[in-house]
Amino acid sequence: MIDIEAMPNLADIPRVQATLRPDETALWFEGTATSYGDLDTRTNQVANGLLALGIQPDDRIGYLAKNTDVYYEMLFGAAKARAVMNGVNTRLAAPEVKFILSDARAKVLFVGKEFYAMIDQIKAELPDLKRIITLDGDREDWDFYPSWRSSKPATNPGLEIRGDDDVIQLYTSGTTGLPKGVQLTNDNYRAFFTQAGMLEWSSYDAGEAVMNAMPQFHVAGVNVGVLATLQGAKTVILREIDPQLILKLIPEHRIAHAFWVPAVILMLTQQKNIREVDFSALKQVFYGASPISEALLRDAVDIMGARFTQLYGLTETVGAATFLPPEAHDPAWGKLRSCGVPWPGAVVRVVDGEGKEVATGEVGEIVVKSGFVMKGYWNRADATADAVRNGFFHTGDAGYFDEDGFLYIHDRVKDMIVSGGENVYPAEVENAIFGAPGVADVAVIGVPDEKWGEAVKAIVVRKPGEEPTAESIIAWAKERIAAYKAPKTVDFIDALPRNPSGKILRKDLREPYWQGMTRRVG
């Protein structure tokens, strides 16, 4: 149950839950359990430690490590100090990490052992970075987190928390251009919590187990643990995606709620021992980043027996915008290709290039207005003004509403293929191909074509032991979508490149085909 009045900001969550259930488990990670009482104490210590280092309100605190339980100590501790948690993508190269920490002007960095060498390489170019604190020890020149934290007072730092305080800064994936720091505030999260509290599927019972397997530098990975602690549930944290460990922990902890991207759901269903796992406690599976195919959904529901909810949102909207509720996953509804209906306090529209709402069924850009829309991009006033106009955040996603008010996403606007003057949206073609015999995964891109400008190409991952042909896949697609949308050619690949949130990196797939071209569109 979400009690917004008792916990109006992130800093209040551990304080209130420590009063309500001090001895119950808040976090579980690799065999170690942290109670709500300990979480409150430790977040006070983190806050006092940061203040002792001279951290001021609005200062950024960097975190470069794989998922851990102590991430939430740092997140809530930073909120109590009125500082801002800046989780850094662990898959980035050193120059990209340097850019983010430099752009955020991070004063303190918490770092895992896998990234010591990287920080050694770039720290001289980070003049704002005053202190490095390790999560794993082995560095005499840097503080060790457990001893640093434990040496600090456990008293409440007593700062007055404000609604417009930034609490989290996450950087956009940067698939085009430089990453931008998204500023999310207490007020953004209050709006997110308020609306989540109106929805049955986002309500957890105190003491239930919630799996947190998505990366904590991604808004979904952050939100899973925050929503769980907000409601007194137990967050079971995985360092990284490990299908066999996921299947082991589900019965061990009686996992009731889990968020996985469709790629992970696919990975789980392909495990040989999947039907031997006890899923009896699993109530809900949430997924996002892309729709789920009907074939995969049928398999997952048959195996797991859980209710599925699709979530569509962006970092700039705290991961919220629309949801496809469990009942709409019944194929009889005909809504499986949809990403659902708007959250109860959100206005979601589809507009044309002039910002005017388009007719039902017509494709345009999806825009969102709500209290959970970001404050802005850090130190990017121009980018903020371009993204948020008249209160609406412009997502850059192309989609349309059907006559029942369900939203459908075609694709990122920039990924649209123009072939012979016709617009082709990759997601529509991918959906048509996904159920083809022998296809395990698929991505669609536009490649240069002398006649049509761009031609549609499918990049396919075959199912183990099966040998679908290009001809069979093209024929399958033509039976389901217009011929001009069907792929002209098909290439086969072992695995599709994806970012940590599960989105296909089409830019990486397109690159070999467009090398040497002065323009990257037809």
Residue 258 in contact with residue 232, Cβ under 8 Å? no
Domain count, the chain: 1
Q: How far apart are CA 188 and CA 166, in angstroms?
A: 9
Q: Residue 41 falls within a domain, yes or no?
A: no
Q: How far apart are CA 39 and CA 358, in angstroms?
A: 49
Is residue 136 predicted with pLDDT exceeding 60? yes
Q: Residue 314 falls within a domain, yes or no?
A: no
Q: How far apart are CA 188 and CA 167, in angstroms?
A: 9
CATH number, domain containing residue 455: 3.30.300.30
Q: Residue 427 falls within a domain, yes or no?
A: yes
- pLDDT, one tens digit per residue, over 73-124 is 999 999 999 999 999 988 888 888 999 999 999 999 999 999 999 999 999 9
Q: Residue 438 falls within a domain, yes or no?
A: yes
Is residue 293 predicted with pLDDT exceeding 60? yes
- pLDDT, one tens digit per residue, over 224-275 is 999 999 999 999 999 999 999 999 999 999 999 999 988 889 889 999 999 9
CB-side exposure of 363: number of CA atoms within 13 Å?
A: 15
Confidence of residue 416 (pLDDT cuts 50, 70, 90): confident
The enclosing H or E element of 423 equals strand 422-424
Q: What is the pTM of this model?
A: 0.84
Confidence of residue 290 (pLDDT cuts 50, 70, 90): low
- pLDDT, one tens digit per residue, over 165-180 is 999 999 985 444 578 9
Q: How far apart are CA 298 and CA 286, in angstroms?
A: 15
CB-side exposure of 186: number of CA atoms within 13 Å?
A: 21
Q: How far apart are CA 478 and CA 249, in angstroms?
A: 42
373 three-class SS: coil
Q: How far apart are CA 365 and CA 320, in angstroms?
A: 17
* Domain residue limits at 436: 416-514
What average pLDDT does the chain have?
92
Q: Residue 430 falls within a domain, yes or no?
A: yes
- pLDDT, one tens digit per residue, over 346-376 is 999 999 988 999 999 999 999 999 999 999 9
Q: Residue 57 falls within a domain, yes or no?
A: no
Q: Residue 409 falls within a domain, yes or no?
A: no
CA distances from 54 to 48, 59, 108, 130, 368 (A): 10, 10, 10, 10, 38
Quickly list H helices, 110-158. Answer: 116-122, 145-150
SS (H, E, C) 168-184: EEEECCCCCCCCCEEEE
Q: How far apart are CA 73 and CA 70, in angstroms?
A: 5
Q: Residue 253 falls within a domain, yes or no?
A: no
